[in-house]
Amino acid sequence: MPDNQKTITIQKFPFSEAQFRQRVKNDTTFTYSGDEELAMCKTILGSIDLTTLEGSDTEEKVRKLCDTAVSFRDEGRQIPAPASVCVYPPFVAVAKEQLQGTGVHVASVAGAFPSGQLPIRLKIAEVEYAVAQGADEIDMVISRGAFLSGRYQQVYDEIRAIRKACPRQKLKVILETGELETPQNIYRASQLAIHAGADFLKTSTGKIAVNATPEAFWVMMLAIQQHYQNTGEKVGIKVAGGVSTPEQAYTYLHIWRQNMGKDWLNPDLFRVGTSRLATKIFEKIQEIFL
């Protein structure tokens, strides 16, 4: 059977609306001590994809963002730098040069970000360009129009094709959960992406009105958890879009830790995409140390 015709078993979302809402409520109600907050802040800072995705981006702006990312690191106090800097494909080479030897990766959105509305050959070409420029990670977005029209095989095939175009890079698959709307849709899209070879599921582009929510994140987490239970294979998660305060980030970290365990709290399995949060988290760390 051809790879793109792989038989995929898609499970139904296993909870009623009331059950689902109660579980999310339980997982977003928590308290923490000062020491626990410091640990959360360090984990979050080291898991951030520091991002600039604006039409006004310039090489100078990207270089400054890379310098900012590295500046957070303080080995004496065990404060990490962000996991990556995320940019558009034309700025990958600039970021790669600026971050050389720092351990901070270069991520690139590619494949018709943020709409997903291009023929697959053009999506693949953009991904291949980003890889050729030196990207360590690719953040692609699914074709929501195809998904919402019920063309699930097309969605799977496109993710699989992009997976093949970046075989050595981490692939984060953006579901754009605000457009999928229902838990069943988010759950189904999560399973498609996992089966197609995603290293990470990512909530949002940050370019629409409804971005990351604890509810959408929880559904994605459930799909990852059940895949791990069935196969032993680990898939990561990235929350992005609208996460601008430490308290918001704490909530997502707690959901992930509560359900997946502390071993899943590392940049290989947990990421936060943001342009604003890193400085606030760093300032919070400074406050706690003082």
Q: Set out the domains of the chain in order of their start, with CATH numbers.
A: 21-289 (3.20.20.70)
Cα(173)–Cα(200) distance, rounded to whole angstroms? 6
For 226, other C-beta atoms within 10 Å of its C-beta total 16
DSSP letters along 185-228, please?
HHHHHHHHHHHHT-SEEE---S-SSS---HHHHHHHHHHHHHHH
CA distance 54 to 268: 26
Q: What is the structure's pLDDT at 290?
A: 65
Which residues are designated catalytic?
A: 139, 202, 238
- pLDDT at site 73: 97
Q: What is the pLDDT of residue 279?
A: 97
Residue 123's closest CA among 174, 83, 177, 195?
174
pLDDT of residue 102: 98
Helix/strand/coil percentages in the chain, nearest 5: 55, 15, 35
- The pTM for the full model equals 0.95
238 DSSP 8-state letter: E
Contact criterion met (CB below 8 Å) for 182 and 16: no
pLDDT recorded at residue 265 = 96
**What pLDDT does 9 receive?**
80
> What one-letter code names the amino acid at 150?
G
Contacts of 270 (CB under 8 A, 6+ apart): 43, 47, 236, 237, 238, 253, 256, 264
10-residue mean pLDDT profile of the chain (290 residues): values are 60 95 96 95 98 97 98 95 98 98 98 96 98 98 97 97 98 98 96 98 95 97 97 98 96 98 97 96 89
Give dist(CA 4, CA 85) in Å, integer: 32
